[in-house]
């Protein structure tokens, strides 16, 4: 005896399931994921500003983006795992340029400049022209990369070039009526016999009346130049 199926279509139970699913899709065409995304902000109740999450009742950090991230400081690695969520200053923040002399990028540029000047010194014994080129590069560096107003870095100069440069600075200060400038001579750690020849020269030589050099307290590698 051959048994035949009573119906070739879906059962009544399957029809009811299909009807409920269709009704649900009509009520929410975007599906369940859309409901979840819409509920998430209301459920968490958080506010986000530049990657900084502020929970309800939480007072915003008054020091937010006021200090340089240590990863982007002179001794940093040039990368921060927190990215945009970091509460400290990064290169993309406006405060980075204000602290540029203390940053990782400035340190790298200064290192490249120092290496190039040392290369010129190595060539100086072969061709005296390189001494003039050293003077030019140091002056250009100070014009483009000042550590601060009226700040001059004399690293890489010979004592003769330093004398020429300091007299030009003194004349400029008198013309512009600038009373104080800062001259970074270093402590002589990288000089022959660890002797700070430029620093010693400025402190002992006789300069015109009204011109004086005084070591900066706490950093004797920097001299305060006063012109009155």
Strands (E), the chain: 47-49, 52-54, 151-153, 180-184, 211-216, 219-227
CA–CA gap between residue 79 and residue 143 (Å, rounded): 28
Q: Is residue 104 part of a domain?
A: no
CA–CA gap between residue 113 and residue 156 (Å, rounded): 10
Q: Please count the structural domains in the chain.
A: 1
For residue 56, the model assigns a pLDDT of: 63
pLDDT one-digit tens code per residue, 184-228: 998 766 666 667 899 999 999 999 999 999 999 999 899 999 999
- Are 169 and 162 in contact, with CB atoms under 8 Å apart? no
For residue 55, the model assigns a pLDDT of: 56
pLDDT one-digit tens code per residue, 12-62: 555 455 555 555 545 555 554 444 343 344 444 444 444 455 556 666 678
Q: Is residue 155 part of a domain?
A: yes
**Residue numbers of the domain that contains 196:** 128-227
Token readout for 203 is: 């402190």
Q: Is residue 46 part of a domain?
A: no
What dihedral do alpha carbons 199, 203, 205, 208 form, nearest 10°?
Answer: 120
Which residue from 133, 138, 131, 128 is spatially nearest to 186, judged by alpha carbons?
Answer: 138
Q: Which single residue is written with the structure tokens 């004797």? A: 220
Q: Is residue 162 part of a domain?
A: yes
Q: Tell me, what CATH number does 151's domain have?
A: 3.30.1370.110
Q: Is residue 197 part of a domain?
A: yes
């Amino acid at each position: 005896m051959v048994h035949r199926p009573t119906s070739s279509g879906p059962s009544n139970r399957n029809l009811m399931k299909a009807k409920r699913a269709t009704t649900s899709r009509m009520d929410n065409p975007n599906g369940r994921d859309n409901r979840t995304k819409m509920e998430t902000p209301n459920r968490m109740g958080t506010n986000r500003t530049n990657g900084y999450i502020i929970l309800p009742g939480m007072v915003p950090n008054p020091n937010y983006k006021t200090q340089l991230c240590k990863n982007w400081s002179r001794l940093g690695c040039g990368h921060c795992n927190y990215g945009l969520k970091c509460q400290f200053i990064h290169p993309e923040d406006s405060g980075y340029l204000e602290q540029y002399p203390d940053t990782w990028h400035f340190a790298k540029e200064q290192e490249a400049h120092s290496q190039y000047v040392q290369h010129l010194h190595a060539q100086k014994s072969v061709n005296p022209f390189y001494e003039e080129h050293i003077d030019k590069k140091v002056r250009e560096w100070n014009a483009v990369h000042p550590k601060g107003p009226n700040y001059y870095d004399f690293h890489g100069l010979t004592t003769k070039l330093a004398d020429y440069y300091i007299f030009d600075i003194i004349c400029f200060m008198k013309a512009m009526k600038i009373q104080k400038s800062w001259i970074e001579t270093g402590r002589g750690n990288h000089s022959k016999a660890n002797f700070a020849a430029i620093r010693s020269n400025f402190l002992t030589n006789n300069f015109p009346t009204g011109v004086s050099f005084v070591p900066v307290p706490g950093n004797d590698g920097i001299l305060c130049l006063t012109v009155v």
